[in-house]
Structure 1
Amino acid sequence: MNTAWALLGIAGILEIAFAYSMKSSEGFTRLVPGLLTVAAGLSSVFLLSLSLRTLPVGTGYAVWTGIGAAGTAILGMVVLGDSAAPMRVLCIVLILTGVIGLKLVSGS
């Protein structure tokens, strides 16, 4: 796997950690989750920026947000008890299909 894609994947996972720790910080009223939110967010954006040195910006950004959105929704269902209604799951599958499609048609 190309280094840029690996960095982008890690950035996407950090985006999920960012969202989860933001929820745990309860509006930045809890110190440790608040610090984790800042660290995960900054790290995610930094790794995204490194991956965009070689990946097309539209592809990189779409994949990053797709990983973050789908991953956070799945984490919410599994860990936080968010709704797992069939239409919601279908929409997540469509996001992941788009992310995979962008990777497959990318020239990198």
Structure 2
Amino acid sequence: MKAMILAAGRGERMRPLTDTLPKPLLEVHGKPLIVHHLENLSKNGFKDVIINIAHLGYKIPEALGDGSRWGLNITYSDEQKSGALESLGGIVKALPLLGDETFLVVNGDIFCDYE
């Protein structure tokens, strides 16, 4: 199963914290918010995760790598040159990576329980 994490936003409301770090990398309960998502996706049977990146986007792949530490395969949809494309634009740009199967979309800047 595939999932997409929307992680390209600027995080204006979290400034100044997001001046140097993408919002999904801000810590919640001792680890980056996006790591909570990756752990939950893995635990619930997802294998392939696409993460869109823009604002300070290079920091997300540096922090997460290829996803293997969670038993996931992470692919990045890079919006750094075009700037963040908003939610729908980011999904549309990532469609070639997502394929024809149904997929889950998760906002990378929220905290939720997957159960």
Q: Same fold (TM over 0.5)?
A: no
TM normalised by structure 1 equals: 0.33
TM normalised by structure 2 equals: 0.32
Tell which has more relative contact order, 1 or 2 (C-alpha 8 A, sep 6+). 2
| Higher relative strand content | 2
Larger radius of gyration: 1
| Higher relative helix content | 1
